[in-house]
Amino acid sequence: MTTLDKARPRTTVPSRTGPRPGQQSRPLHTVRTSDLLALAGALAAAFGATGLLWTQIAPFSGTLGYVVVTWCLFVLFYAALVSFDENRPTVRDRVAAVVAHSLAVLVVAALADVIGYTFFKGWDALVHLNFYTQDVRTTGPLDPLTKGGVIHAIAGTLIEVGIAMAIAVPLGLLAAVFMHEVPGPLARFVRTVIDAMTAMPDVLAGLFIYATLILSLGRGYFGFAASCALAITALPIVARAGSVVLRLVPGGLTEASYALGAGQRRTVWHVTLPTARSGLATAVILGTARAIGETSPVLLTAGSTFHLNVNPLSGPMMSLPLFAYQSVNSPFEFEKARGFGAATTLLALVVALFAIARFIGGRGPGVLTTRQQRRVAASSRRDLARYAQHRAAYTAVEAPGYPLEKP
Amino acid sequence: MVSRDSSAGDEPGSFIPFHGLPVPRKLTARLSASDHAFRAIATAGGVLVLVLMMLVGSFLAYRAAQALRKAGWSFLTTQAWNPDGGGFGIAAVMVGTILIALVAIVVAVPLAMGTALYISEYAPRWAQRFLINVTDLMAAVPSVIFGLWGVNFLQWHGMTDLSRWINNWFFWIPLFKVTGVTRNATGPTATAYTSSTFIAGVVVALMVTPIAASIMREAFSQAPVGEREGAYALGATRWGMIRAVVLPFAKGAIIGGTMLGLGRALGETIAVVSIISPVFIIQPHVLEHGTSSVASLIALRYQEATPFAVSALMAAGLALFALTLVVNFVAAIIVSRSRSGAASEA
């Protein structure tokens, strides 16, 4: 942008004879030194001012308050600094950028804090091998961490969630396929009901199973009841996520399959489901991670015990979230540490499942990994070789009217 | 969809109207036996899921009706919860639930919007992928862990101080009043601020944020490139472009994501149970010790209950279910009506 001299005409033809102005390349990077200086200056000013406030003027307390006040002052100082050499919209832009950045940092910091704190508190229990091999049947809340463990809770969680997913995944995926492949009023109704059930508070599923399976059978708590409760919470989630994933399968692929004369069963089995495989796997694994962490249905239906119990059909069965919940509320230090150890184990399970889900399902529908591409290429090469072989065999006997073209 | 019988119109006996005008060829679908079997199995699966879900719903409604019939309209106005003697009602627990959810939403919406905006507008590519993973992982972290963290760490490192600070300066707003605390008091008054609606709400906010953020991020990233570049070409700054293009485009998703988060916050159980200490009076002071919620009521009281008391708990649960259902459906309608809605459901 240049200022125009009023005396000169508004447009001029550049003369060829005059000296050429030296051409300078314009810097294209978006961050200038003054921006960085403004940031650093505002930060320093905010720290200084908050320190002054905290220690000299008005003694407040607490680290959170310190951080909050520093941040507010930082934004104020930054806006002031930027306004020295920019116009109003630019100041607003800079402040908005700072706010968006800090909110994102805050979310990451909160998650890191939750995970870090749990690991930190659970570490004392996790380093003892007996934590993974024993239950707490002979361990009192005052016993040291070299005694007792959470094997009963780990086994309980795995059994309960395993059975729950064995019920919920096939049913949920079948319902998703139904909603996708057999459209009509019935499918719409099923979709509405499933959508409604995803809104059900999970504690209500626990209460339902408690009223039906526990109270009316009158045989106390047992693991399978918890599986049923978890299945009821997971079923609508899996069905809904599955139907969303199926909807992402490109219509061109299925239509190509129908155009080649394949029936509906063949198309679903050989085109739709394989294309959506990674998405479906992700949906299922994330559903499992959710079910593993559910506490309230388990709290109402599986009871709690100190013993390792691997029979889901009789006797109460412990699970990791419930153990963590009960032990951490205990006033005894070692028991608390055990609870945090269980919470860390649970968190590790969830993070592992999450990592697997990302590993499988990071791609869109129908996008193949390098290995899958290699496998597909190899199978086409095999097909090509097979065709060539057939052709060679038929040309050898000079079969008349063979449909393949001759080379 | 299905194989079409293309020869129907050419058959010798096919109907030719006397006026001689062409009529559309009749299309009939012939399903093979295996397709019939496939459809039957898929339909059976769908119907089975439907029946299961209806069974749960109608059983709860049936049992809840027993309690409701006895309590009548007082169910909505009674604060105490003594189903086996005296009255019971959801006035206190429902107010507690809604207040916790509102605190959660007030905290979560700026967080979610900021994160979503950062991911879609500001972040470099690697940070984008990293933050998407972070928010998704945050949604998968079990609620019991948020609860443990909230009650053992957050409550003592910051929240009570923050509560005291808010109370000191804003005590004249009824919402922020704390009874039994003198202003600027020195001494161990921290327990007056523990186990409050505010702390429970903040913890629930962290669980709600990733849900709302992922819906908003999807919508933000779909704002049309042409309109974005148009705004830039007219001289807008990045924030100007966001205000003029991205936010109006994603308005439906912002509202919808917020309401889905609200639905989740209303039904949250174990994190709330860990933090609050239950009281059965309407507690409008969000900073004060003690509150209650429907889900935590169920989790705490199911064991000491007679069959009738279980029915009463079901009635309370069903009232909560009705509330979350309305919130979720309104959210779904808003998300799907909005311009960006088509691809933003998760």
Q: Which residues of B touch A354 (CB under 8 A)?
A: 136-137, 140
Half-sphere exposure of B34 (CA within 13 A, CB side): 8
Local confidence band at A61 (pLDDT 50, 70, 90 cut-offs): low
DSSP B54-94: HHHHHHHHHHHHHHHHHHTTHHHH---B-TTSS-B-SHHHH
Of A177, A258, A286, the CB nearest to B42: A177
* B239–A171 CB contact, under 8 Å: no
pLDDT at A259: 92
Counting as low any pLDDT under 70, the low residues of chain B are: 1-20, 180-190, 305, 338-346
pLDDT at A20: 64
Closest-approach residue (CA) in chain A for B323: A199
Between A28-42, A109-123, B157-171, the lowest mean confidence (pLDDT) is in B157-171
Interface test with A, best of B34, B148, B204 (most A CBs within 10 A): B148
Is the per-residue pLDDT at A400 higher than 60?
no
Q: Which residues of B touch A228 (CB under 8 A)?
A: none
Q: What is the rounded end-to-end Cα distance, in angstroms, of chain A?
A: 67
Local confidence band at A173 (pLDDT 50, 70, 90 cut-offs): very high
- The verdict on A188 touching B (C-beta cutoff 8 Å) is no
Helix H or strand E encompassing A218: none
Q: Which residues of A touch B51 (CB under 8 A)?
A: none
pLDDT at B19: 65
- CA gap A281, A363 in Å, rounded: 12
pLDDT at B275: 87
Interface test with A, best of B141, B153, B310 (most A CBs within 10 A): B141
- The verdict on A212 touching B (C-beta cutoff 8 Å) is yes
Q: Torsions phi, psi of A147, nearest 5? A: -125, 140
Strand blocks (E) in chain B = none
> What pTM does this model have?
0.81
Which residues in B251-288 are b (16+ Cβ under 10 Å) and which e? ebbbbbbbbbbbbbbbbbbbbbbbbbebbbeebebbbb
Per-residue tokens: A147: 């005694």
pLDDT at B3: 42
| Mean pLDDT computed over A132-143 | 77
Instruction: Please identify which residue in the block is written with the tokens 């009824």.
Output: B174
Q: Of B88, B145, B108, which is closest to residue B301 (Cα–Cα)?
A: B88
* A263–B34 CB contact, under 8 Å: yes
Of B34, B134, B237, the CB nearest to A111: B134
In DSSP terms, B196 is beta-bridged to B289
- The verdict on A339 touching B (C-beta cutoff 8 Å) is yes
Of A111, A203, A210, the CB nearest to B138: A111
Local confidence band at A268 (pLDDT 50, 70, 90 cut-offs): very high
Whether the CB-CB separation of A282 and A357 falls below 8 Å is answered with: yes
Write the DSSP symbol of residue A148: -
Q: Which residue has the higher pLDDT, B19 or A231?
A: A231
Homologous superfamily (CATH) of A151-364 is MetI-like (1.10.3720.10)
pLDDT at A198: 84
C-alpha dihedral (A284, A287, A291, A297), degrees to nearest 10 = -120
| Mean pLDDT computed over A394-398 | 71
Write the DSSP symbol of residue A23: P
* A178–B43 CB contact, under 8 Å: yes
Average pLDDT of chain A to the nearest whole number: 84
Of B131, B161, B313, the CB nearest to A207: B313
pLDDT at B240: 93
Q: Which residues of B touch A193 (CB under 8 A)?
A: 50, 53-54
| Mean pLDDT computed over A64-91 | 88
Q: Of A367, A216, A350, which is closest to residue B63 (Cα–Cα)?
A: A216
Contact partners, residue A56, CB within 8 Å, separation at least 6: none
| Mean pLDDT computed over A256-278 | 89
* B137–A197 CB contact, under 8 Å: no
Residue B217 corresponds to which amino acid?
R
Report the gap between the CA of A93 and the closest CA in chain B (Å): 5
| Mean pLDDT computed over A75-103 | 91
Per the rule left: phi > 0, alpha: psi between -120 and 50, beta: everything else, A401 is left
Is the per-residue pLDDT at A141 higher than 90?
no
pLDDT at B2: 42
Report the gap between the CA of A379 and the closest CA in chain B (Å): 27
Complete domains list, chain B, with CATH: 76-343 (1.10.3720.10)
pLDDT at B345: 37
Of A89, A207, A350, the CB nearest to B240: A89
Percent helix, strand and coil across chain B, each rounded to 5?
A: 70, 0, 30
Per-residue tokens: B19: 């006026």
Write the DSSP symbol of residue A246: H
Per-residue pLDDT tens digits for A334-349? 888 888 999 999 999 8
Q: Which residue has the higher pLDDT, A299 or B20?
A: A299
- CA gap B207, B141 in Å, rounded: 8
Of B135, B267, B328, the CB nearest to A202: B267
Instruction: Please identify which residue in the block is written with the tokens 């129907």.
Output: B8
pLDDT at B221: 87
| Mean pLDDT computed over A270-298 | 84
pLDDT at B181: 64
pLDDT at B11: 47
pLDDT at B105: 94
Q: Which residues of B touch A339 (CB under 8 A)?
A: 148
Half-sphere exposure of A35 (CA within 13 A, CB side): 11
- CA gap A379, A388 in Å, rounded: 14
Local confidence band at A228 (pLDDT 50, 70, 90 cut-offs): very high
- The distance of Cα A278 from the centroid of its chain, to the nearest Å, equals 14
Report the gap between the CA of A249 and the closest CA in chain B (Å): 13
* A93–B240 CB contact, under 8 Å: yes
Of A64, A102, A103, the CB nearest to B161: A64
Q: Which residue has the higher pLDDT, A399 or A346?
A: A346
3-class secondary structure, A349: helix
pLDDT at B7: 42
Is the per-residue pLDDT at A333 higher than 70?
yes
3-class secondary structure, B322: helix
Interface test with A, best of B129, B144, B275, B329 (most A CBs within 10 A): B144
Between A227-231, A257-261, B48-52, B342-346, the lowest mean confidence (pLDDT) is in B342-346
Whether the CB-CB separation of B183 and B166 falls below 8 Å is answered with: no
Tell me the domain boundaries of chain A: 33-123, 151-364, 370-395
- CA gap A104, B138 in Å, rounded: 13
Contact partners, residue A247, CB within 8 Å, separation at least 6: A180
Please report, rounded to a whole number, the percentage of residues in chain A having pLDDT higher than 70: 90
pLDDT at A148: 78
Q: What is the interface pTM, i.e. ipTM, of the complex?
A: 0.82
Q: Of A256, A293, A251, which is closest to residue A276 (Cα–Cα)?
A: A251
- Helices in A20-87 by DSSP H: which ranges? 33-52, 63-85
CB atoms < 10 A from the CB of A102, how many?
16
Half-sphere exposure of A19 (CA within 13 A, CB side): 2
- The distance of Cα B253 from the centroid of its chain, to the nearest Å, equals 13
